[in-house]
Amino acid sequence: MNRTEATDGDALTLFCLPYAGGSAVTYGEWASKLPAWIRVMPLHMPGRGVRHQVPPMHRWPDLLDLLVDDVRPFIARPFAIFGHSMGALVGIELAHALRRRHGAAPFWFGASACRAPSRRERELHWLTCPEPEFLDEVRSLKGMPEELLGNREFMDLVSPFLRADFHLCGSYAYRQRDPLACAMLVLGGKQDNEITDDPEHLAAWARETTGPYEQKAVDAGHFFINTHRDAVIDLVVESLARAFHSHGLSGMPLQRSYA
């Protein structure tokens, strides 16, 4: 199937969520690389992109209200959710919110470079910690060039929503609940030491679903969604196709057939 052979009515919607400090631009080139039967829909976080005038949100209920409203028009048909790092944590909460509020759940979920919800650690100082401490943490993630970290004007612009994102991650409170029933793909970077220092950090994702679970390693660091984008897309498409066929749905090729 090529990209001209699928209509919007045939397409599966894949909601995508970025890492802390990231934006919908993270997935800007995915649409041209995905097969026609997947319609990618990057979700916009407050304080950046088309929502640059929306104040940063550091409370989970506020963020979930915003995102649920975004996706609600598209959940009558099969949909999937993918998130990288913080995006995976937001994604799992979005999935549960949709199931709780609207009785709709993803048939597939992808978590990338993120500790499982049950393995999170509480860190409640990111909104108020001194700037040097905050910058050291951002620097340790190796996702922002040093010239930007040293640019005061740029950091004054991005720090408010970056701190809010860090606070969301640090204030996350895991609670027991019925797991999802969807297929799940979990990706981890072999050189992402904070994730791979304990195998359970990723393996514990298996407890978040009763559906088929698979875990794959990418030979890269934390931001492999940028450095190894095509490899990630391959893994996502192959997993989505298997999940679609396991649900008895037709029209989606098992083999990669896109440029």
Which residues belong to the active site?
Answer: 85
SS3 per-residue string spanning 71-102: HHHHCCCCEEEEEECHHHHHHHHHHHHHHHHH
Q: In angstroms, rounded to a whole number, what is the distance separating the alpha carbons of residues 226 and 148? A: 17
Q: In angstroms, rounded to a whole number, what is the distance separating the alpha carbons of residues 256 and 3? A: 12
Do β-strands 79-84 and 213-218 pair in parallel, antiparallel, or remain unpaired?
unpaired
Contacts of 138 (CB under 8 A, 6+ apart): 21, 144, 149, 162
Q: In angstroms, rounded to a whole number, what is the distance separating the alpha carbons of residues 203 and 196? A: 10
